[in-house]
Structures are given as structure tokens and as C-alpha cells.
Amino acid sequence: MKVLLFTREYPPHVYGGAGVHVEYLSAELAKLMDVEVRCFGDQDATSEGVRVKGYPFGKGSFARVDAKLSGALDTFETNLATLTARVDADLVHVHTWYAHLSGILSKILYGVPLVHTVHSLEPLRPWKREQLGGGYDMSSWIERTSLDMADAVIAVSQGTKDDILEHFDIDPAKITVIYNGINVEQYRQTGDTTALQKYGVDPGKPIVLFVGRITRQKGIVHLVNAVKYINRDAQVVLCAGAPDTKEILAEMETAVSRVRQTGLDNLIWIQEMLTKEEAIQMYSHATVFCCPSIYEPFGIINLEAMACHTAVVASAVGGIKEVVIDGVTGYQVPLEQLKVAPFEPVNPDVFSRDLATAINKVLDDPKLAESMATAGQKRAHEVFGWPSIGQQTKRLYESLLK
């Protein structure tokens, strides 16, 4: 059996959870079958049984088009480029709307089964219009078409499956829940502090950590607004870069400036995406990791923190509720959301206060922090290992080929 994975992200060009997912899934599947990956980028190599070919993105073909639209059109162009080589796989598997068109056309042109993993859903990310303009309508159309045409849909959590059924007319029997995973041999506690020293973080003081992109989905501004309620002796370290838009970056800068103007000096903002090794160091030395997302189909960053022996405080949305066990591996913070776009908290200050309250509970009780960290690490090892996920995915493939 041979599978062809279509994805925007693949190492070394990974900026989100979907890219992490494809990296480890492809490596695990390569132990069980032939694997080819076609992605956005300049990759051209075979490593550990995975054949990877990257295709340039943003070549300038649409330079005269409105900037918000050119990104969507560049995506369309790159999808077509991924099909300049013949598809000789038994089935194709797509990840995120950026690569859905490649799978749709492969199914039509080559008659192979199409598998669609849902890492997120466009109807639940209305803020993308701010970034894409009318391109958001295009991404929504491509996503809906791929889901309709898919022979099998993988949801990364039960919460994601529920969201699919709420927003799309799809046969529930076509949807299989297969959790996201974590490489526990790589994401593990380390005593190395070189990354902390590099960015001015004191490993001897309590650390409240955030790692992720600057996007409305991740809710980082709500954590910034919570700093004034968090214990003063704790460092709040925000490893946050790659803003979706200049508007959300400006909002983040304003929020950080407001905190610092009040005289608080415990906020450290690292305005770049960390390497994997640097992130592991940050996770390992954090007292508590905070994930304030307003939408999260799975939330792999929570799992990364747990695997590195860190307690987690996260908003009780989506797949997070299946990853973080409230009161055991960390705390889930309830989030009352607006029922229409942009799905932000009804009362942002209440949400920020609630985040801080949960964070302070962990900071104030070292024994609790240790027990949650230990329980989280154990859960990461026992429930979310990639070998199991690879086997489940293989069985799904086999069911389609039969």
C-alpha cells in the first residue's frame, strides 16, 4: 500500500499543529507502508522511508491582485503544481484547506480514495476573513467540497467530530476519531537552560508559559490581559510570533504596552517562533503552561507541555476537554462565548480573571503543580503515542481499499 499526503506544512517549514501532526504521522506510517508527501516549500529528499517533495508558494503570479486575495490564489496555484507529477498512490490524505484541492483533483483524475483529516473548520474561524478577505469564502468552499467528496474523514477529537456534524451535512459513519499524538521520546523533560538564558528567562523563578502563533484562535491577548491578576513573583513568558495579520499584531502590542505601563515587569515577550529544542526547554522549566484558545480542535501544545512534565491551564473548548483532565493534569477554564462571529468571550475580563485564578492555584501549591505535571506526563505517554495512531490510520486506509 502507498499513501500520498498533501499538506502545506512539512519540516523545516512548520508553524502550527497540523505541520507537527503530518511530520510524525508520515514517519509512523513509513514503518507500515510506502509514504509520499507533497507540500509547500523547497524540500526534495527521502528520509526514513518518507519521500518529500516541496512546491514553491507565492511565486508572484498574483502580485497585481489585492494582497488579501493573492494568498488564496497562490494556494490554488501551488495545489495545481503538486499535481505536475503523476499520482501513483493507492489513496491520498489531505491536511488543512491549503492542500484540499490537491486531494479533490487526485480523486477526480486518478480515481483514488480521498481521506480528509480535520485539524480545524473554517466556519469556526470567522476571523480568517480579516486575513483573507474574499479568500475566506474560497477556503470555506474548498473545505466543504473536500469534506463532501472524502471517502473517510478523520476528526482529531470527539469535539471536532461534533463540530463537523453541526456545520456540515455528512454521514456520521464516514467520520472516525483518531487523536493527535506526541513523540514522547522527543518531547521530554530536560535540564538544559540555554534557551532560557538566551531569552532572559530566570529558571529559578516560577514561569507561566505560552507557546504559539499570534492569532485570534489562540486567545493570547486574553492571557496578556490576565497578567495583572497573576502572582507578581511569576514570570509570564510569551513565546509568540508569526502574527496572522498586522491588525492582530498591533492589538497584541497594545495589550503588552498597557501591562508594562502599569509598572509590571514580569512579562517577557519572545517575538519569534522557537525551535523545537528551545520550546522543549521552555516547557520543561515552566511551572504552568497556559492555553487560552477560544477555538481548538485538539490543542497539541497542551500535549507537548504535558509530555515535558508541566501542569496545564487551558480554556475548556474543543479537543482540549479530551486532553487535559480537569483537576488532575491541570485545570480547564470555562469559556462562555458569543454564539455568532467572531466567537470571542462574552466577557473578556471575566475570562482573563478566571485564567489567572486557575494559574495562581498551581503557582501557590508546588505539590499540586508536581502531581499535575506527573499525571500529565503519564497521560501523554499512555494515551497519545504515535505507534497507536499509525495503526489506527492504517486500518482506516485498509477499510477503504477493501
Given a contact cutoff of 8 angstroms between Cβ atoms, the answer to whether 35 and 49 are in contact is: yes
The backbone region for 62, taken as left when phi is positive above 0, alpha when psi lies in -120 to 50, beta otherwise, is alpha
Q: Measuring CA to CA, which residue among 210, 208, 150, 200 is closest to residue 175?
A: 150
Reduce the DSSP state of residue 360 to 3 states and report it.
Answer: helix
CB atoms within 10 A of CB 352: 24
200 DSSP 8-state letter: T
Given a contact cutoff of 8 angstroms between Cβ atoms, the answer to whether 171 and 177 are in contact is: no
pLDDT of residue 341: 72
Q: Measuring CA to CA, which residue among 112, 140, 159, 180 is closest to residue 317?
A: 159
pLDDT of residue 244: 87
Q: Measuring CA to CA, which residue among 16, 7, 76, 57 is closest to residue 35?
A: 7
97 DSSP 8-state letter: G
Beta-carbon contacts of 38 under 8 Å, excluding residues fewer than 6 positions away, are 4, 5, 6, 7, 53, 54, 55, 82, 85, 102
Please give the single-letter amino acid code of residue 202: D
DSSP states of 135-150 as a string?
Answer: HHHHHHHHHHHHHHH-
Please report, in tens digits, the pLDDT of each residue of the chain (402 residues total): 999 999 999 999 998 889 999 999 999 999 999 999 999 999 999 998 999 999 999 999 999 999 889 999 999 999 999 999 999 999 999 999 999 999 999 999 999 999 999 999 999 998 888 888 999 999 999 999 999 999 999 999 999 999 999 999 999 999 999 999 999 999 999 999 999 999 999 999 999 999 999 999 999 999 999 999 999 999 999 999 989 888 999 999 999 999 999 989 999 999 988 999 999 999 999 999 999 999 999 999 999 999 999 999 999 999 999 999 999 999 999 999 887 777 889 999 999 999 999 999 999 999 999 999 999 999 999 999 899 999 999 999 999 998
Separation between Cα atoms, residue 237 and residue 234, nearest integer Å: 9
Separation between Cα atoms, residue 122 and residue 322, nearest integer Å: 21
The pair phi, psi for residue 354, each rounded to 5°, is -65, -40
Given a contact cutoff of 8 angstroms between Cβ atoms, the answer to whether 41 and 52 are in contact is: no
pLDDT of residue 19: 93
C-alpha cell belonging to residue 361: 492555584
Please give the single-letter amino acid code of residue 156: V
Instruction: Identify the residue whose cell numbers are 498586522.
Output: 246
pLDDT of residue 183: 92
Given a contact cutoff of 8 angstroms between Cβ atoms, the answer to whether 306 and 181 are in contact is: no
Instruction: Identify the residue whose cell numbers are 501549591.
Output: 365
Separation between Cα atoms, residue 316 and residue 313, nearest integer Å: 9
The backbone region for 343, taken as left when phi is positive above 0, alpha when psi lies in -120 to 50, beta otherwise, is left
pLDDT of residue 131: 82
Go through the domains of the chain in sequence order and give each one's CATH number: 2-181+385-401 (3.40.50.2000), 194-383 (3.40.50.2000)
Q: At what angle do helices 17-29 and 386-401 cross, to 10 degrees?
A: 70
Query: Can you give the C-alpha Rg of the chain in angstroms?
Result: 21
Sign of the Cα pseudo-torsion (77, 79, 80, 85, in order): positive
| Cis, bond preceding 348 (omega within 30 deg of 0) | no
400: burial class by Cβ within 10 Å (0-12, 13-18, 19+)? middle
pLDDT of residue 186: 93
Beta-carbon contacts of 64 under 8 Å, excluding residues fewer than 6 positions away, are none
